[in-house]
Amino acid sequence: MNNNRAAGYDGVPGELLKYAPNSLASFFAQILNKAFAQHCLLPIGTGIIIPVQKPGKRRGPCGSLRPVVLVTSLRKTLSTIVRSRISRSVDRYLSCSQSGFRPGRSTADIVWTHRWINAICQKYKRSFYVLGIDMSKAFDSINRCKLLIVLKNIVDEDSLRMKINFYYRKLNFLSELALRSLDYFLQMLEPHKGTHYSLYYLSSI
């Protein structure tokens, strides 16, 4: 969790979890473990919508705004736990050619590979076809049900499967926007009901 970020619906800042782990770690662990043991859904699915003006866009239209959702600290904690627990399984599942949204990989890997293949084709007078996928566009229309099915097949532990289902449960959005504007933002936010980690999971589809 980064510092100086707005708190979610629970009002608990990220700094409190980062700098008081000895006092809060066992407390949060008890809450989550009890919820999983009793199959009780915690009220962590409430997010506050904040519209942010896109740079360089005309002020006024909803299309010029970017919806940002402030989620609870407990949800962020669960997100970090799930990510750390399944990262190895997801990395083994992904193709070695997949560089987007993976730790230690970047666009530089893709550019280098493309130039290397291009040089080989020019040297030996061969033809080679390259298919590129815009992951950001795919994320805008993600099939979350399919994503959960794929993750369940990748992850072996039942406890982790339950955590994934728990984490991706429906979010309730709070906003002071007009209803018409709120409907627009809900359509934009539907694929983003997780956090930025959803981009990482999307690579597995």
For 66-109, how does the pLDDT look when each residue is reduced to its tens digit (9 = 90+)?
Answer: 878 888 888 888 888 888 888 888 888 888 877 777 888 888 88
Domain count, the chain: 1
| pLDDT score, position 106 | 82
| pLDDT score, position 168 | 59
**Considering the domain boundaries, does residue 8 fall inside one?**
no
Measured distance CA(64)–CA(51) in Å, rounded: 9
Average pLDDT over residues 27-48: 79
**Considering the domain boundaries, does residue 7 fall inside one?**
no
**Considering the domain boundaries, does residue 76 fall inside one?**
yes
| pLDDT score, position 157 | 67
Domain of residue 49 covers 14-201
**Considering the domain boundaries, does residue 167 fall inside one?**
yes
**Considering the domain boundaries, does residue 181 fall inside one?**
yes
Other Cβ atoms less than 10 A from the Cβ of 69: the count is: 19
**Considering the domain boundaries, does residue 65 fall inside one?**
yes
Tell me the pLDDT tens digit for each residue of 169-191. Answer: 555 555 545 444 455 555 555 44
| pLDDT score, position 116 | 92
**Considering the domain boundaries, does residue 134 fall inside one?**
yes
**Buried b or exposed e, range 158-185, using 16+ CB within 10 angstroms:** eebbebbebbbeebebebebeeebbebb
Closest CA to 32 of 67, 68, 64, 79: 79
The 3 state secondary structure assigned to 103-158 is CCCCHHHHHHHHHHHHHHHHHHCCCCCCCCCCHHHHHHCCCHHHHHHHHHHHCCCH
